[in-house]
Amino acid sequence: MNRLVRTAIFLLGGLTAVPFVAGTVLAAPSQLASHQAVYDLKLEDLRPNGGLEAVRGRIVLRIEQQCEGLVMNQRMVLEMVNTEGGVIVSDYLLSTWEDNSGNVMRFDMSNSLNGQMVEKYSGVAERNEKSAIVTFSEPDQEDMDLPASVMFPADHTRKILENAQVGKNLLSAKVFDGNGAEGLSDTLTVIGKRKTLQAPEEAVASLEGMTYWPIQLSFFDLRQQENEPDYEVGMKMFDNGVATDLKLKYQDFSLTGEVSNLEFLTTEKCS
């Protein structure tokens, strides 16, 4: 169920330093706009015999760039109706803080089904040039070793934007997103051609005239070693880090996510 409700959010809120892309040194780190976005989720497609007949939901995402790092708070609520008329409500919360060097991430994740807690993870993920490790404070379990090349969501998002800005259209990376023991995925990102937003809907009118790229991410479960992705996320990603027009494709159903509210926040002033 954990992977069923994940949005890989990782992508929806990332920012750290990766100053070298394809031989090009960038003059300054990309900065995400501090903002809060609400996405209304609607059912796009159901797999036959998947056991569900209706799905709807909402994501609330809040990104705050602070002087020492980036805070991301995400809540995703899904209401799923099975073919027997039973209702399952999943309430998923993920809070992370990532330092601006991209080497440390603190995370708190919880997932409840019909009001009953089914998963809860808290801890710290750290990496250096030779190794990476996750130390859990909840639950009480052994540390988790990660590949030395692992990226955290902030790093990953920044890398996608930097590749997009120099015309690169593919990025493969292993990403740990803070989702506990299942948080490590192999990812493949396909980046479309640069576009400019024209005549937007009222909810995203503040993005008019801005540059964006169509993005398609595929997430693979490293434990299964399968060729087909575990789930996929599509979106329009703007050069300030705001994402719109979500498409979430899971094994049993797919959803669209339209922005119903977008609010830009005041960014902390740093010396």
Do 43 and 80 form a contact (C-beta atoms < 8 A)? no
The larger pLDDT score, comparing residue 12 to residue 27, is at: 12
Transcribe 16-77 into DSSP letters.
Answer: ----EETTEE-SS---PPPEEEEEEEEEEEE-TTSSEEEEEEEEEEEEEE-SSEEEEEEEEE
**SS3 (DSSP) at 154:** helix
CA triple 130-134-137, angle to 5 deg:
150
DSSP 156: H
pLDDT, residue 4, reads 46
**SS3 (DSSP) at 241:** coil
pLDDT, residue 191, reads 98
pLDDT, residue 225, reads 66
- For residue 56, pLDDT over 60 is answered with yes
Q: What residues does 213 pair with on adjacent strands?
A: 237
- For residue 193, pLDDT over 90 is answered with yes
The larger pLDDT score, comparing residue 211 to residue 18, is at: 211
The larger pLDDT score, comparing residue 91 to residue 225, is at: 91
- For residue 22, pLDDT over 70 is answered with no
Rg over alpha carbons for the chain, rounded to the nearest Å, is 18
Q: What is the pLDDT of residues 121-170, one digit of tens each?
A: 999 999 998 999 999 999 999 999 999 999 999 889 889 999 999 999 99
- For residue 261, pLDDT over 90 is answered with yes
The larger pLDDT score, comparing residue 146 to residue 50, is at: 146
pLDDT, residue 30, reads 57
The larger pLDDT score, comparing residue 249 to residue 7, is at: 249
Do 9 and 72 form a contact (C-beta atoms < 8 A)? yes
Count CA atoms within 13 Å of residue 200 on its CB side.
21
pLDDT, residue 270, reads 83
Tokens 């809120």 sit at which residue? 13
Binning pLDDT at 50, 70 and 90, where does residue 202 land?
very high
CA–CA distance, 71 with 201 (Å, rounded to integer): 28
Binning pLDDT at 50, 70 and 90, where does residue 115 land?
very high
pLDDT, residue 46, reads 92
pLDDT, residue 269, reads 82
Cβ contacts of residue 264 below 8 Å, gap of 6+?
33, 34, 35, 206
- For residue 172, pLDDT over 90 is answered with yes
Q: What residues does 77 pair with on adjacent strands?
A: 58, 91
What's the average model confidence in pLDDT over 45-53? 88
The mean predicted confidence, pLDDT, of the chain is 86
Do 216 and 243 form a contact (C-beta atoms < 8 A)? no
**SS3 (DSSP) at 232:** strand
What are the Cα distances from residue 251, in Å, to 66, 118, 171, 203, 234?
37, 21, 23, 30, 15
